[in-house]
Amino acid sequence: MLSGAQYAKVMGVLLDKGVLPREDANPVLSGTMPVNAFGLDWVTSPHVTGADPWLLDREQLGGVGDERLGSPGYTTASGTTIEVQSIRHKDDKYELRARRVCVPVVVEPLAGVKITGTGL
């Protein structure tokens, strides 16, 4: 997991070293993500904090779970995780709201390691 600037640097290095395909299949030109090189998926996120990249085993780290907040006025259909609310105004108009609350679920905290000293 790399920050945007780190991802750009790594893609430049991979391109210069001839690791990435040329022309149409080049992910730098096509914008295709994630890029797979050396058996690793190289990804970026705007939510990366700090200056060091992370190496993650996404199969072991965890995933995303749904949370029901149960706020007054919101209801769900059976079998779904989407909460909806219908508000009727005095001028006979309706305001509809819908939400799906997702939360990260970490199953194995040791499935991620920070890589230090990269100079990225």
Contact 52, 115 (CB under 8 A): yes
Q: Give tens-digit pLDDT for 4-41.
A: 788 888 888 888 888 777 776 677 777 677 777 777 88
pLDDT tens for each residue of 27-36:
777 767 777 7
> pLDDT tens across 43-92, in order?
888 888 888 888 888 888 888 999 888 788 999 888 888 999 999 999 99
Distance (Å, whole) CA 87 – CA 101: 20
Question: In this structure, which amino acid lies at residue 104?
Answer: P
Q: Output the average pLDDT for the chain.
A: 84
Residue spans of alpha helices (H) in the chain = 4-16, 27-30, 58-61
Q: Spell out the SS3 assignment of 77-94.
A: CCCCCCEEEEEECCCCCE
**Using alpha carbons only, what angle is made at residue 56 by residues 53 and 57, rounded to the nearest 5 degrees?**
165
Dist. CA 67–CA 87, nearest whole Å = 22
